[in-house]
Amino acid sequence: MPQNITRGIKALIDEANAEIETLNAKDAIEISKNGDVVIVDIRDPREIERDGRIPGAFACTRGMLEFWIDPQSPYAKPIFQEDKKFVFHCAGGLRSALAAKTAKDMGLKPVAHIAGGYAAWRDAGGPTEQWEPKKKA
């Protein structure tokens, strides 16, 4: 390990999980039925196209998260200014823990993430759908 790395990814994920709400898939499926919850899918579009998605989820790649949350950013997305609960998910629950902590650190609240991510949601019987990117004209 390079000398300048003092904390690894496991430590960062453990810290994130200690500071944010973690929902199991069944609870996430249940609260997703509320109109005051936004499911935020931080997976790469290729993952969404390959594996499917949660109907109605807002797609926000992990790389754009901070830019889309910050209302002062030229890339800000209005959905993140809404008075809702934001529940993040990725494929397996690791990136979403980091994303939810970042969102919380930026002042977005309330936030949570789904333990086990999209795979857990799907395996718990949550609704899914296939997604195809828009065809270029």
Residue 131 and residue 99: Cα distance in Å, rounded? 22
- 56-to-7, 35, 40, 130 alpha-carbon distances in Å: 36, 11, 9, 12
Measured between alpha carbons, how far is 45 from 10 in angstroms, rounded to an integer?
Answer: 25
3-class secondary structure per residue, 96-136: HHHHHHHHHHCCCCCEEEECCHHHHHHHCCCCCECCCCCCC
Q: Backbone phi, then psi, for 104, in 5-degree steps?
A: -65, -45
pLDDT in tens, the chain (137 residues): 456 777 899 999 999 999 999 999 999 999 999 999 999 999 999 999 999 999 999 999 999 999 999 999 999 999 999 999 999 999 999 999 999 999 999 999 999 999 999 999 999 999 999 987 777 66
In the chain, the domains with their CATH numbers are 20-123 (3.40.250.10)
